[in-house]
Amino acid sequence: MDFDDLEFLAWGASLAQQLQQHFSYPDFPPYPQIPASEPPLEQAYGQHPIQEELAQAGLTGPPLEAIEAEQHCENEDPEDPEDQDRPQDQESLEEDKPAEDEEPAENEAPGAFQHALKLVENPSHFWTRLQNFYKAKGILQSALPTTPNSLWNFGPHKKINPHKLFLAVLSFGGRNLVSTDKKNWRAIGRDLGLSESHSETFSWHIRRLYSDHLFDFERSFTSNFDMQNDATPDASGTRSSNTTTPNAPSNASPNPAAVQNASFNMNSTPVNMAGAPMQTIQADTPSNRRGKFSKPEARAANPVDPIMSSLISEAMPVPSIYIRCLRGLESPLEEEQAFATHHLVAISDERGDKLKLAEFPSLAEHLVEVVLEKVGLLLYGKPWEVNWDGEPYSGLADNQIDGAYGTKNLLVRIQKRDIIFRNDGLMTARDDTLLRIASEAALTLRNLCTLDGNAHYVSDMEVVWDMLVILMHLPRNTVFDELINYALETVEMVCSWWDYKELGAVTQTLEKFLGSRDKHHCLTALRALVMFSMELPEGKDLGRLPIDKVRWLYQILQVADIDYELGSSTLDFLYQFTLVADNVRLLTEISYPAHEGVDLSVDWLPTLIRLLQVDVTVRTEEVVDQEEQRLPPPTAIPVVPAEVLDRDIEIFQEPERCSRWLRSCFVEDKDCEVTQIALWQAYQACFLIGRPDAGSILPAAEFINTVSKTFATAHAQVVSRETPKFVIQGIRPLEQPRDAEGYPWFSCDWEFPSADPEKPAYCANAYKDPVKLRDHVLHEHLGLPRNPDTGRTEYPQAETPGYKCCWKNCTEHTVPHTNSSLIAGHVARHLPTPRDLSHPPPIEQRKIIKPRVARVYKFETTPVDEKGEPFGIAYKAALILRNILDNLPQEPIYHRDEPHSWSWYVFSTRRDQLVELGILNTSLRGILFDVVNGIETS
Residues that bind Zn ion (CB under 5 A): 748, 750, 763, 765, 805, 807, 810
Nearer to Zn ion, 191 or 735 (CB): 735
- Minimum distance of Zn ion from residue 829's CB (angstroms): 7
What span, in angstroms and rounded, lies between the C-alpha atoms of 372 and 688? Answer: 112
Nearer to Zn ion, 322 or 750 (CB): 750
Please state, as a whole number, how many other Cβ atoms lie within 10 Å of the Cβ of residue 934: 17
The letter for the amino acid at 157 is H
Task: Report residue 683: phi and psi, to 5°.
Answer: -65, -45
Nearer to Zn ion, 703 or 807 (CB): 807
- Minimum distance of Zn ion from residue 761's CB (angstroms): 11
Strand partners, 819: 797
Nearer to Zn ion, 795 or 929 (CB): 795
Cα–Cα distance list, 242 to 78, 257, 277, 355, 875 (Å): 18, 21, 15, 30, 58
What span, in angstroms and rounded, lies between the C-alpha atoms of 64 and 42? Answer: 12
Produce one character per residue of 142-161: b if its CB has 16 or more CB atoms within 10 Å, e if not. eebebeeeeebebbeebebb
- Minimum distance of Zn ion from residue 806's CB (angstroms): 8
Angle value at C-alpha 79, between 75 and 83, nearest 5 degrees: 140
What span, in angstroms and rounded, lies between the C-alpha atoms of 932 and 878? Answer: 12
- Minimum distance of Zn ion from residue 656's CB (angstroms): 31
- Minimum distance of Zn ion from residue 618's CB (angstroms): 55
Are 853 and 626 in contact by the 8 Å Cβ rule? The answer is yes
- Minimum distance of Zn ion from residue 783's CB (angstroms): 12
Cβ within 8 Å of residue 833, ≥6 positions away: 770
What span, in angstroms and rounded, lies between the C-alpha atoms of 16 and 268? Answer: 13
What span, in angstroms and rounded, lies between the C-alpha atoms of 210 and 219? Answer: 12
Gap between the terminal Cα atoms of the chain: 68
What span, in angstroms and rounded, lies between the C-alpha atoms of 756 and 762? Answer: 13
Nearer to Zn ion, 549 or 830 (CB): 830
- Minimum distance of Zn ion from residue 750's CB (angstroms): 4
Nearer to Zn ion, 192 or 639 (CB): 639
CA 48 to chain centroid: 45
Nearer to Zn ion, 264 or 807 (CB): 807
- Minimum distance of Zn ion from residue 823's CB (angstroms): 9
What span, in angstroms and rounded, lies between the C-alpha atoms of 830 and 198? Answer: 72
- Minimum distance of Zn ion from residue 828's CB (angstroms): 10
DSSP string computed for 116-151: HHHHHSSHHHHHHHHHHHHHHTT-SS-SS--STT--
- Minimum distance of Zn ion from residue 745's CB (angstroms): 13
Nearer to Zn ion, 766 or 928 (CB): 766
- Minimum distance of Zn ion from residue 805's CB (angstroms): 3
Nearer to Zn ion, 263 or 765 (CB): 765
Nearer to Zn ion, 593 or 753 (CB): 753
Are 419 and 322 in contact by the 8 Å Cβ rule? The answer is no
What is the number of alpha carbons within 13 Å of residue 32 lying toward its C-beta?
11
- Minimum distance of Zn ion from residue 743's CB (angstroms): 19
Name the nearest CA neighbour of 570 among 529, 621, 535, 518.
529
Cα–Cα distance list, 932 to 494, 917, 919 (Å): 39, 11, 12
Are 666 and 712 in contact by the 8 Å Cβ rule? The answer is no
What span, in angstroms and rounded, lies between the C-alpha atoms of 198 and 188? Answer: 12
Are 768 and 694 in contact by the 8 Å Cβ rule? The answer is no
What span, in angstroms and rounded, lies between the C-alpha atoms of 286 and 292? Answer: 7
CA 511 to chain centroid: 31
Are 841 and 664 in contact by the 8 Å Cβ rule? The answer is no
Angle value at C-alpha 565, between 560 and 571, nearest 5 degrees: 55
Nearer to Zn ion, 810 or 822 (CB): 810
- Minimum distance of Zn ion from residue 728's CB (angstroms): 32
Name the nearest CA neighbour of 478 among 516, 434, 527, 441.
516
What span, in angstroms and rounded, lies between the C-alpha atoms of 525 and 226? Answer: 41
Nearer to Zn ion, 645 or 763 (CB): 763
406: three-class secondary structure by DSSP: coil
Nearer to Zn ion, 677 or 828 (CB): 828
- Minimum distance of Zn ion from residue 675's CB (angstroms): 30
- Minimum distance of Zn ion from residue 815's CB (angstroms): 12
- Minimum distance of Zn ion from residue 811's CB (angstroms): 8
Secondary element (H or E) of residue 726: strand 724-733
Nearer to Zn ion, 307 or 828 (CB): 828
Nearer to Zn ion, 455 or 763 (CB): 763
- Minimum distance of Zn ion from residue 813's CB (angstroms): 6
Residue nearest to Zn ion (CB): 763
Name the nearest CA neighbour of 474 among 430, 521, 519, 507.
521
Are 816 and 801 in contact by the 8 Å Cβ rule? The answer is yes
Nearer to Zn ion, 455 or 823 (CB): 823
- Minimum distance of Zn ion from residue 764's CB (angstroms): 7
Nearer to Zn ion, 710 or 765 (CB): 765
Nearer to Zn ion, 813 or 900 (CB): 813
Cα–Cα distance list, 599 to 384, 552, 897 (Å): 45, 13, 20
